Structure 1
Amino acid sequence: MSKRTAEYWISKLQLATHIEGGAFREIYRSPVLAPLSALPGGFGGDRNFCTSIYFLLQQHQFSAFHKIKSDEVWHFYYGDALIVYEIDQQGQLIEHRLGCDPENNETFQCVIAAGNWFAARLAPGGEYALVGCTVSPGFDFADFELAKQEELLTTYPDHSELIKKMTI
């Protein structure tokens, strides 16, 4: 079997354009709700226990820097290696390599901590990556913040080159 194309997966999985870049489709939203009283501070209402999406990035795309109020687990499924960039609360840049080649420091999963800025793009030479993202407490657009380039540059000047490439 030859390698599937990005277009194959977009059609087969019925993916749509995502606001931060790439293509996605929500595949799971827990029917169980965590009440606001059980959630950490900063949430504005009840949240589903868990949500999950398929997410696909192609070589000419990137997932722009953004943050959410929940932990997010990224899962590698198919295609080429993907680099997920995370800036933690202390301003440290962490590069997670998702893929199927442990000899190239690639892993099948990585976790982005709640409140950290993160972005993603293919590793050099890649065509596309099909991944999944699981969020708990579940994703809600009310918890999503797309980075403003100037604010991120002011806060994290050491990472200015990457921020300029990975913001919209």
Structure 2
Amino acid sequence: MNKLDAIINQAERQCKVHGTRLTDKRKQVLAGLLKSGKALSAYELVDFCKKEFGETIPAMTVYRILDFLEEENLAHKLKIANKYVACSHIPCDHNHQPQFLICTKCQKVEEISIDFSIIQALEKNVKQAGFQVVNSKLEMDCVCDECKEAAIKPANIRCKLKV
């Protein structure tokens, strides 16, 4: 069994515990998120399912599937990018506070963990400012190391000097 299959199986077990089902179409959409390594829109997932599985899933169905995956904590919606990523904690079976680093160049997404005490301190500051936290998920626009390196490398341009 490969890593992708193991994660899908864990997601399926997680759904059963919650009294829900990870149908074949839901598995296909989740597989698309897991394989991509970057944030995807519903329409990109429609294209993925058609290309990978030869199955056309209407965009509205993909949106409903994404809502389901979010409710089951199997996927996260990134508000900054208006796209979705698979939860990187599916195989872990532990509670976490999702935080995302999003490369503005290539759309690569990294889910990181931060200490709950940091979230508690932020929530305290929010409350003191007269607000109530609705969702403590953090999303940060970043540039990944690969894109940073690509921007720094000098172009291989050959110049001919006339003397």
| Fold equivalence (TM over 0.5) | no
When Rg is computed on C-alpha atoms for both structures, the one with the higher figure is 2
Q: Which has the higher contact order (CA 8 A, sep 6+)?
A: 1
Q: Report the structure, 1 or 2, having the larger helix content.
A: 2
Higher fraction of strand: 1
Q: TM-score, normalised by structure 2?
A: 0.23
What's the TM-score once normalised by structure 1's chain length? 0.23
